[in-house]
């Protein structure tokens, strides 16, 4: 029994991630864009579960190929399909017409991103392309802000063409060649973790100041710190 629990706790957390995505899809089908505030909360729970499943697998020594595949499948639903449908419904409500279909690129490129990650052993220290959870958090919280008219984008009139362009750009970032910081600390030293410490400190300030409305800005901060960190590393090695 103990061995069974040790081997399956990570998978249970992964299934919690998946269930959050499925519940979010049901809410979107029933309530449309009105479900976005609830989906923000579901995404937070899913994100915590997604972090803890890998952590638990390493801690318990129960990592497996099945667990890895299950994790990617759950991520495809929660961080790919869910924001894709949310984007479609929001664009449709804005009168985007055929432009609403651009939101499907979120799901398609998220799946491609996950397949690449599963077959690239070199993405342990940093990611190649934006991680699907980060992209999903950015889009869902951005959609919620647009729909409610509150937060850091209050007072800014979003045209559907701008939103469609953002969705297309973030879809490309998922499969882009850019190196993005992986939030995995190596010990507690400054030198090997300074980019992560800087990102964590700036992120904490944003959250303390703006609360959940800071999530879209956190995503932009994540990209900026990653790009600057990679630029400095390249210059140092030249």
Please tell me the pTM assigned to this model: 0.89
The Cα–Cα gap between 201 and 205 comes to: 6
Q: Using the predicted structure, report yes or no on whether residue 21 has a pLDDT greater than 90.
A: yes
Provide the CATH number for the domain around residue 143: 1.20.120
Could you tell me the residue range of the domain that residue 127 belongs to? 2-237
Comparing 227 with 158, the larger pLDDT belongs to 227
Residues 6+ apart with CB under 8 A from 127: 117, 179, 180, 181, 182
Residues 6+ apart with CB under 8 A from 81: 21, 25, 107, 110
Total structural domains within the chain? 1
Torsion of CA 97, 29, 145, 94, to 10 degrees: 20
Residue 49 near residue 17 (C-beta atoms within 8 A):
yes
| Each residue's pLDDT tens digit, 3-13 | 555 667 888 88
Q: 60-69, 87-96, 194-203 — which is least confidently predicted?
A: 60-69
Per-residue pLDDT at 155: 47
Helix (H) or strand (E) holding 130: none
pLDDT band at 160 (very low <50, low <70, confident <90, very high): confident
């Amino acid at each position: 029994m103990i061995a069974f629990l040790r081997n399956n706790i990570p998978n249970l957390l992964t299934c919690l991630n998946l269930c959050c995505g499925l519940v979010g899809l049901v809410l979107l089908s029933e309530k449309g864009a009105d479900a976005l505030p609830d989906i923000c909360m579901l995404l937070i729970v899913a994100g915590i579960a997604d972090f803890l499943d890998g952590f638990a697998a390493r801690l318990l020594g129960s990592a497996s190929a099945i667990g890895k595949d299950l994790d990617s499948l759950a991520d495809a639903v929660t961080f790919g399909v869910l924001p894709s449908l949310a984007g479609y419904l929001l664009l449709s409500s804005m009168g985007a017409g055929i432009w609403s279909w651009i939101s499907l690129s979120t799901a398609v490129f998220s799946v491609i991103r996950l397949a690449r990650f599963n077959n690239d052993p070199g993405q342990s220290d940093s990611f190649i392309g934006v991680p699907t959870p980060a992209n999903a958090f950015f889009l869902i919280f951005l959609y919620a802000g647009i729909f409610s008219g509150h937060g850091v984008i209050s007072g800014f009139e979003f045209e559907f063409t701008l939103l469609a362009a953002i969705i297309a750009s973030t879809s490309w970032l998922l499969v882009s060649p850019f190196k993005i910081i992986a939030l995995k600390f190596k010990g507690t030293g400054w030198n090997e973790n300074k980019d992560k410490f800087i990102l964590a400190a700036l992120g904490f300030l944003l959250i303390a100041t703006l609360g959940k409305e800071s999530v879209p800005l956190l995503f932009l901060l994540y990209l900026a710190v990653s790009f600057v960190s990679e630029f400095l590393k390249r210059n140092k090695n030249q």
